[in-house]
């Protein structure tokens, strides 16, 4: 990104999330493998990591030692909890650093962001682990080719492992349907194994108070910006916040935008006037307003 782009969309509370790109050393693993996660610490202080991985089959947590500045790796075992694929969740925390006067790289930061304060970032990755083979061949042997109404019959059912051919045990559901029903509405065989395949994703979310953390410089900066905006136009529709936004330009509050940009975003030739506790829709061409 160019400097003007950074200036239009300064770094906010998501600095670590944008500055770090963790990756796994492989796209597919097998149960019993050791996965390695690689990342680069851009700060001059260590990062405290927390790693969690698993699915609905089980979850595991690892608390690695602090990650020093520069390139780092985190290794963790892939077990049965990842059969069919699992989520890998990485949390990185940086403590407050009084010597961190500016962000690495000198990129512009939101005026509401204290670069010396603590930082937190969350990352989600996926580890693909193919499930074990579970194919079963089912063989039905009826006692007779046809059974008359009111009679009794029997069926011999055999289950074998599809790969080895060895007999296996299991639960079988057998349904008998009048052939006339199938003639009226055919019912083609379905791949029951595929239809009943487990989906072990098991997503979960992270909740923290980091997004509610306002820095001490943010409060006077917000007050000064609001004072300048209201002096320029006392009827502005303002969206302000004492918290630094994420870095998308559309997420910036009016306390983070230049005064000229906020004024230019004001709708209409005349500012909307307050009406009944809410903002009015402005004065239409040739219209009247009662003061």
On the question of pLDDT at 68 being above 90, the answer is yes
Most confident of 32-36, 110-114, 124-128, 237-241: 32-36
Whose tokens are 């782009």? That residue is 5
In this structure, of 145-149, 176-180, 239-243, 254-258, the range with the lowest mean pLDDT score is 239-243
40: pLDDT confidence band, cut at 50, 70 and 90? Answer: very high
Report how far residue 44's alpha carbon sits from residue 99's, in angstroms, rounded to the nearest whole number: 9
5-22 pLDDT per residue, tens: 666 677 777 788 888 999
71-93 pLDDT per residue, tens: 999 999 999 888 888 889 999 99
Nearest-10 Cα torsion for 252, 43, 38, 110 = 0
Report how far residue 240's alpha carbon sits from residue 253's, in angstroms, rounded to the nearest whole number: 5
Burial class (CB in 10 A: 0-12, 13-18, 19+), 37: buried
Q: Tokens representing 75? A: 């290794």
Alpha helices by DSSP H, the chain = 3-8, 15-19, 179-184, 192-195, 218-232, 259-264
Cβ contacts of 38 within 8 Å, gap of 6 or more: 22, 23, 24, 25, 71, 72, 73
70: pLDDT confidence band, cut at 50, 70 and 90? Answer: very high
Burial class (CB in 10 A: 0-12, 13-18, 19+), 86: buried
């Amino acid at each position: 990104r160019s400097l003007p782009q950074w200036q239009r969309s300064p770094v906010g509370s998501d600095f670590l999330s944008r500055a770090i790109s963790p990756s796994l050393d492989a796209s597919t693993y097998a149960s019993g493998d050791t996965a390695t996660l690689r990342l680069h610490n851009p700060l001059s202080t260590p990062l405290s990591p927390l790693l969690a991985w698993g699915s609905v089959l089980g979850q595991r947590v690892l608390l690695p030692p602090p990650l020093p500045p520069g390139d780092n790796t985190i290794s963790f075992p892939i077990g049965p909890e990842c059969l069919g694929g699992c989520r890998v969740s990485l949390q990185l925390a940086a403590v407050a650093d009084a010597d961190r006067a500016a962000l690495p790289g000198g990129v512009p930061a939101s005026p509401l962001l204290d670069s010396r304060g603590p930082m937190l970032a969350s990352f989600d990755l996926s580890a693909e682990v193919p499930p074990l083979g579970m194919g079963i061949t089912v063989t039905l042997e009826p006692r007779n080719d046809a059974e008359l109404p009111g009679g009794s019959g029997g069926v011999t059912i055999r289950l074998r492992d599809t790969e080895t051919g060895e007999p296996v045990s299991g639960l079988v559901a057998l349904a008998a349907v009048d052939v006339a029903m199938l003639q009226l509405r055919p019912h083609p065989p379905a791949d029951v194994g595929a239809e009943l395949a487990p989906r072990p994703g098991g997503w979960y979310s992270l909740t923290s108070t980091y997004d509610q953390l306002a820095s001490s410089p943010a409060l006077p900066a917000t007050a000064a910006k609001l004072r300048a905006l209201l002096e320029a136009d006392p009827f502005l529709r303002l969206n302000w916040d004492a918290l630094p936004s994420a870095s998308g330009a559309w997420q910036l509050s009016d306390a983070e935008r230049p005064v000229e940009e906020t004024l230019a975003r004001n709708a209409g030739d005349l500012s909307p006037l307050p009406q009944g506790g809410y903002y009015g829709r402005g004065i239409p061409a040739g219209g009247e307003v009662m003061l």
